[in-house]
Chain A
Amino acid sequence: MAEVHVIGQISGASGFPSPNLFCKWGIVAGTPWKLLAGLAEGQTQVDQPQDGERANWCHPIDVHYACKGLQGWPKLHFEVWHQDMFGRSELYGYGFCHVPTSPGSYTLDCATWRPSGDIWEQIQSFFLGGGPQLKSKDLIYDGTNRYRLRTETMGFVHVQIAVVLRNFRKFGVEC
């Protein structure tokens, strides 16, 4: 009934140990939501900035949702990956943020984290790269059990988003 149109881009990421990054992203929404158009998940290119610590992707997001209820408002979730000089990819961070609930354009900074692992794993990843990854990726945005993870903070994913809402007022939802 009501519709949400999210247009924007994943502009980049900063604050990571190395700026050679790419990002897998997705949008999840609850059962009352239906994706009408657009891709709800994707992957950016690998950006290898010449200088500066900010990776730029400018990856477009253009999704159109219809919903019959508010439960499960869409969330953006990210997996930031790092590609090292050998072309190997390793996980650098998980993060998620909600799509803003009122119309307008936004610049969001989504903080990311990654599982830190035990000491042995840390030593291993120091020398060999890689590191612990979540087995079930739903945990990124499904917060029920997350507090039990041991994580370390990573950088930010920057998102520029414009949210267009339609018909919400008709159902008594003031956005």
Chain B
Amino acid sequence: MEDLVHEESSKIDDGDDEVMSHPSEETNDFMKTLMERREQTRNTLESTMAQRHRRLPPLKQTHKGQQVDVVDVEGPSALTASIRERMRQRVREASAKSQSTGTEIRPRRLRSLRQRGDVQTRFDEPSVSVFASTSSPPPASLRLPSPPDDKDEIVEEPEPALERWKRAIEKTRPTRFAQSEAGIDESAYDFFTSSIEGGPEALEEEEVEEQRQVSQERQIAETDLEAGEGDEEQYVPLTVRGHAEYHPHGERLKVEEELYFYPSSDSARLEDKLPEETEARHLEDEGLYVGKRPPVSWRNYNRLENRLLRQEDKGRAWFAEDGRLSYVPDPLKKPPSRPHVHIGGTDDEKLDTEVKLPLVETFDHRFIDGSGLGFGCYQLDVDISSLAFSHHSLFSVEHVLASRLSQLYSQYVERREKGIVTFMEDRLKALREASRHLQETLGPVDPEPGTVLEEQFHRLREYKSEIRRIRLLKDSEEVTDKKIIKSILKYWNNLKAVRQEQGYNATSLKLVIRKEGVSARDDEAAWQRAIDEEVEELREEYQEEYAGQLMEYQRQMDEYRKERKLIRQEMKRRRRETQEEEGRTFDRSAALREPVRPDGPAPFDEAAARRQVVEKAMENRRHPGQPKLFPILDSSALISASQQCPREEQLRRRDVQRCSYCIRVLFNKREVSRTATKTLSGDFTVHFGQIFNIQIRQWPESISLQLYESRSGSSGGFGLIAEVYVPIPPSQLHSGNVALENIDFSSPQKVEYAHTGVGSGINVDISSSGLVSILLTSGALRASACWSKDDATGKILSPPMLGQPTHFGERYVDAIAALGATGMVDIQKLATWISEAQLDPNDPRNADLLYLVKTHAGDDPSCLAKQDYFRLNEMEKDSYFCEDDYLEKSKRFQLLALRDQEARNFSGFKMVPANDSEIKDSIFTDLASKEIEEEELDPHKLQRFAVTNFFKEVQSRVIDRSQRASRHRELRDVVIEEEVPNIGILGQSIVKLLAPRRPLKPERKERKTIFTQAGGVSDIKLLVRLVRAFNVPIRERSNTRLGARSSGQGGRDGDPSSDFDLTDQVQVRPFVEVSFQQSKQLTPVADGPNPSWNSEMSLPFMSPNHDYSPVALQGVTDLISFNLFDEILVDLLEDDRQRETNRHERIERRWLGNLSVPFSTVYSNTRVDGTFQVSVPSVLLGYKKDDSRATEVASASDFALMSHSQTFLSLFITIEPPLPPLPTLREQYDSNEDPRLLRTARAWSDALERKFKKRRIQMTVMDINIKTVFITRYVRSQNPPEGILANVESGSLAAMEKVAWYVAMIPSLADAVAFRSNCDIWATSEQFLMMQAGDEEEHAVLLCNYFLFMGKKAWVVLGSGIPEGSTAYVLTEDQGDQLSGEYWLWNPSTGKRFHQFDPYCPLQTVDSVFGTENIWVNVQDHQKPSFLNFNLSLSRNWRPFFSKRYPNPGLSSVQGDLTYKPPDESLAKSVEEKIERLLKKRFEESRRHVTRWNRHCIAELRKFLPRLEERPFDSASVEDQKLQLASITGSDKLSGFPLHFAFTDVDSIVNSVLDTRLHTIEDPQAEFALAVYVEAYPSDVLSVWVYVVGLTKRLT
């Protein structure tokens, strides 16, 4: 098309200047004439040439009848032409003398020329003859020919004409042959010598002559050339001077005028343009679309038309029906196809750039813009309108009733407005109508299954069930309505009564009941009809059931008949038999029992049904004929004036006036502004009417409003009543479209008055209404929060949406965005809105929306797009490889994703199989529920399960938070930078030079820690160095001298006689077995109660899942246990005679004590170094504490340890290579605390920490929600479980010990293990009891709270102790009469109590003390408890945090009252049994010999255990026990001990018992006794005692 157009237009354009070039008849004619002329010229030439034929060879032989284009023939060049000329002249001269024949030819030629000259051309102009005579080349390039000459001239002077022609040739072919004359000659020679065909007859005789001439010519030419310039005489000028040709312009024009055709520019006649006898037809007038004509000037247009009309067919094809040139509409588009690029910014918001000055910014995700310096403007509008109390402490009784009444009334009005019952009735009616209609059309025929009818029956059934449902609903709604009206009336009566009673009005409420009469007859009829309908429905319903029952009955009947038949037959048979066997009477009783005849279904009891319906209606509905009642509540009653009221009421009213309120607005828990203080009005509303514009930078987390109340006018202090949270507005909610909301609040405050105010939070007895309840101050705050709208731009100042998808495939043009409802995502809501708004579907403005809703059939998000374009997205789904949810379902992908997320149990997963089929389904459940399954083995699995779940929940929360924190890395976490040596280090190295080579007390060097990546380091070892032990129990001398053959075996050189030697020096031969994970190692055996081993061991460490990342290592729960044994050599040599030559001994070991250090302690402290107490059971049969020998000790501190009755072990543990501990959680977490408090606390503790570098000053801790909480909030008196204090005097020391024992029974678990992160998380006591696990702090807090409850002075002490490192103890001050002013320290994990000056107190240092009201930091020089003065009031010893300068703001406690589950005895029993059974089994399994149980001893042990539980630390009973046992067992030698555990799980207890190796007594005669006792405490705390005793026969 376009091509065509272009062609056409170019034609038109060309038509302007070169009309000539167009093919037209005229031009053709013109061309013809031109050709003719050319021919003529050629003929002329030929004739001239022929004229000279004799003298010169022709340029080209002309063939018969053939026209040869002269121009195309190789013409002689100018040079050659002139040479020839000369030659010819010479030849001519020569021949003129010799010959005279040529003249005959000439006249002929001339004649012919003359004849030619007479030939009339078409134009018959003289110039034609000019053309002919001048014989110039044809005017191929419009070169005008030379000026015309006379014919005569031509005749007379043919030579000059020829010459002129030659010149013309010369001009056209300027230098073609000028290069070599010789070449030309040669070619000429060739030309001449070539064969000549069909020459004229006359030529024959000429030929010879001609050849001769040629040779002559050649000769001449050669001589000419040779002679050249030298031969002056023979020189002929080679060039002829010609003058410039000029054709006068006028002539030229004249010629042109003749040649050219100029079409007229006048418009052509319409008749010419149209075919004959046709009318012009105008399409435009007929209403057809015709495009715009391309603009062409009318002159050109007309010319074109005229020219076209000159064509043969008058150019019909070019003209359209309307007589104008046919055309293609203007193809040019007005707007440019490329959009205009704005220079100064774009209109598309998305394209906007913004200039940001470079700023140093640290990203903080709490800020919307990533930093506090954000440029975004986000503004919240918080509108606080008013406050209305639904109960207030200053309410009088009347107020209470009035508020109830108005509540009920508003409920009533709301219901009435909604018209639920009416709606139901209408619905019911419609349904009934529909079902009846359907029933009628269907008729009673039973449907064929699978037909349309079947479907309709189905629908009918559905209708019926719907009717039933709605009827029930309606009934219940009616009941509610009735109830509400009833209670409105009741309250109104009460209110009236109260008013009557008190004699004045305090409220303005007034209830008016409007009656609306109804026509009794109509009503009756409607009533009857309703009942009829219902009965009818019931009947139908019943019939349906009945049909089913009937079927069933039929079936039963059939069965019954069949059965009866069988039985009858049987009976007959039997009868026959009996008849056959005569003498035997027919035994009736032997007859088979007749089957029971089934009862048929009862028919419909209409009377009963009707009765039922009527009863219900009477109860729920308005009775027929009764007037309709409408209660109307208004406030038209007058409130009595104050002076008319009694004094009490006056007081109340005065108080009301004094009450004033203000509201603080808190954003993200910070106060941002507060309202003005407003007084309470008489109707207990407060009007604020304030809007707060809050410009925010942080992400909104909470917007809360705190309601403050002041009692004594505006000057008094304000008390917080309630805090309400305003929901954070969604981003499209702005000030233009927000509505105020009622936010309910209530306050637990307790207020009581002497006047008529009823108070709140207390029991209120409103006797007249029989209402006794606790009324809490409550009400509704009318407020709203929304985003501001910028008035100028109309932009909503809300932060960008969170969590926008970044997939570019999901971005579409949002149709809703066009409506201004950007970010609206709930399409369902939009759809409902559209249906409600009844949009005009024809309005194109709504097209987007309707399209949107229409396409929202599925939940395909792509439907959100308004698509006026084509995208491949449509096909996207088709090109998917697999189903949509495959990615989610694939096990491999799940596993990979879980591993990546470091989900619990999956973090260390190394290899993920390549194919789904290789992954078992169970892997997910397996790993996740591993621990649960373990727990399920426990007898009390349900309880444990709940605990585990709770614990897991907390744990995952903590892990989540801590992992987020661990991503915040510091430079030193990533870059290992060698310390640049400074002057201090230089100094040290100089000092090092002077230091002794082998110092007496070598110090350990700090090692560099290796920062492991996951899986980086795998060869980890635990280095343990056991230095020595102190005060190991020594063997007890048997009280009988007899047969202690095996006791006190000396060294290897021991003399057998030493058995009887009382002064035997060997008291004990202790060694230690270190066990960790699967490996065990022993120290060498040393002698005496204070052995020194100094042996080093290395134990391999294996991380679970081979995951050596810090997080995984943190979670390792393995213990390093040190078991202290005594090695006993038992002499087995039976024959004394061999003693001199043989030795036969058995090595036995007796367990003395245990010390276990959790791996996590080593890991988090990088090393454990020191002297630790070994837990030795209170009763150790066969051993005693060595009190007498307190000697041979090196250092003073060791001495202190030595002389005590405890056993100690000094050791050193570290990990090789050193691993970095998990970075501590940095305290940058959210807090509910006042920021000022936190700031002050930080500054204060920083200042003190600078002064006392090593002291742990802890002001805030994290709760399990990872929120910072001020530490004193944890301490608050809390009730201990009641049961445990039953038998003891309250407040006595025994009671305290009991409580401490209870606390100690709760299992310990370090935070690091529990939460897999190095953070100090403090659970509240409730959580602690719930989790049944916690570290020292939780124990200490709980114990302290119990003590406070018991009225003791108690604090929590933070410090460091052994072996746990930093720990918490409880400090009590005894103000009892005999122990006045004495301080005691309680170890909460063991329940033991130490005196302040007890040098063996495991608490080594005291850093700070805190209680309910304050925190004190130890600013004394010493840290050891025994050196301290615990009088906390002395600020030079203890620096308090809250002081006069910064008083305690009254921090409320995070702890609440505790509730306990009662002790579960059955649980205790089952645990007891389980432990005993398992232990016995394991004992028997692991012994080679038959294990014999000494029942007698077991019975005795069972008696001891409850006593131990009662007085766990009483050493006086120990001796009793020993004696008692000895008396029982008599000749047996006893070894054994009671062990105590806080119950966590059975396995750990069993393993600990087996770790004592008591069962390894190899004596085949050995007997064992084992007793288990479990004491149940409240809240499922269990105390487990295991008494194991081994009995070996003394040899007599």
Contact = CB atoms under 8 A, between A and B. Distances in A.
Contacts of B899: 37
A105 interface: no
A117 B353 contact: yes
Contact of A1 (B342, B359, B882, B897): B882
Interface in B787-808: 806-808
Interface string A78-122: 000000101111110000000000000000000000010110010
Interface string B856-899: 00000000000000001100100111111011101001001101
A130 B357 contact: yes
A174 interface: no
B811 A36 contact: no
Given A89-B361, A142-B811, A66 B890 contact: yes
Given A68-B881, A118-B344, A135 B354 contact: yes
Contacts of A34: 887-888, 893
Contact of B808 (A90, A121, A124, A138): A138
A135 B360 contact: no
Interface stretch (A23-31, A51-59, A153-161): A23-31
A150 B344 CA distance: 10
B807 A72 contact: yes
A87 B880 contact: no
A36 B361 contact: no
A130 B355 contact: yes
A131 B353 CA distance: 9
A28 B896 contact: no
A66 B887 contact: yes
Given A30-B808, A36-B896, A135-B352, A128 B881 contact: no
Interface string A27-44: 011111110111000000
B356 A87 contact: no
B349 interface: yes
B879 A145 contact: no
A136 B345 CA distance: 15
A90 B345 CA distance: 21
Contacts of B592: none
Contacts of B880: 32, 68-69
A45 B114 CA distance: 107
A135 B350 contact: yes
Given A115-B353, A138-B811, A88 B359 contact: yes
Interface in B308-343: 339, 341-343
B350 A141 contact: no
B900 A139 contact: no
Interface residues of A, number: 52
A115 B354 CA distance: 9
A125 B351 contact: no
A129 B357 contact: yes
Contacts of A2: 881
B357 A138 contact: no
B1140 interface: no
A31 B810 contact: yes
Contacts of A31: 807, 809-810, 876
A1 B354 contact: no
B83 to A, nearest CB: 72
A124 B358 CA distance: 11
A141 B808 contact: yes
Contacts of B876: 31-32, 69, 71
Contacts of A26: 806
A148 B355 contact: no
A104 B343 CA distance: 44
B348 interface: yes
Contact of B884 (A36, A68, A89, A139): A68
A66 B897 CA distance: 11
Contacts of A142: 808, 811
A87 B360 contact: yes
A142 to B, nearest CB: 5
Contacts of B358: 84, 86, 88-90, 128-130
Contacts of B884: 68
B346 interface: yes
Given A69-B881, A86-B360, A37 B354 contact: no
B339 A64 contact: no
A148 B341 contact: yes
Interface string B347-376: 011111111111111000000000000000
Contact of B360 (A37, A38, A88, A133): A88
Contacts of B897: 36-37
Contacts of A72: 807-809
A48 to B, nearest CB: 14
A148 B887 contact: no
Nearest to B345: A118
Contacts of A32: 809, 876, 880
Contacts of A117: 353, 355
A38 B900 CA distance: 7
Nearest to A120: B355
Task: Select the residue from A26, A84, A125, A148 with max chain B CB neighbours within 10 A.
Answer: A148
Nearest to B900: A37
B356 A130 contact: yes
A110 B1587 CA distance: 76
Given A145-B348, A171-B881, A64 B896 contact: yes
Nearest to A114: B353
Contacts of B809: 30-32, 71-72
A131 B811 contact: no
A66 B900 CA distance: 14
B339 A148 contact: yes
Given A134-B353, A135-B349, A1 B886 contact: yes
A86 B888 CA distance: 48
Interface string B895-907: 0110110000000
A64 to B, nearest CB: 7
A20 to B, nearest CB: 12
Contacts of B342: 148
Contact of A118 (B339, B343, B883): B343
A28 B349 CA distance: 22
A121 B350 contact: no
A35 to B, nearest CB: 8
Interface in B27-59: none
B881 A133 contact: no
Given A37-B896, A68-B886, A135 B353 contact: yes
A139 B350 contact: yes
A89 B355 contact: no
B882 A91 contact: no
B427 to A, nearest CB: 44
Contacts of A150: 341
A133 B1265 CA distance: 39
Contacts of A133: 353-356
Contacts of A118: 343-345
A11 B342 CA distance: 37
A111 B69 CA distance: 68
Contacts of A90: 356-358
B351 A145 contact: yes
A70 B354 CA distance: 35
Contacts of A69: 876, 879-881
B368 to A, nearest CB: 14
Interface in B801-852: 806-811
27 contacts: A1-B881, A30-B807, A31-B810, A31-B876, A32-B876, A34-B887, A34-B888, A34-B893, A36-B893, A36-B896, A37-B900, A68-B880, A68-B887, A71-B879, A87-B360, A91-B356, A118-B345, A130-B358, A131-B356, A132-B354, A132-B356, A133-B355, A135-B350, A135-B353, A145-B351, A149-B351, A149-B353
Q: Top 5 closest A-B pairs, CB basis? A: A88-B358, A37-B900, A132-B353, A90-B358, A30-B809
Interface of B: 339, 341-346, 348-361, 806-811, 872-873, 876, 879-884, 886-888, 890, 893, 896-897, 899-900
Given A117-B353, A129-B357, 4 more contacts: A121-B355, A130-B357, A132-B354, A133-B354
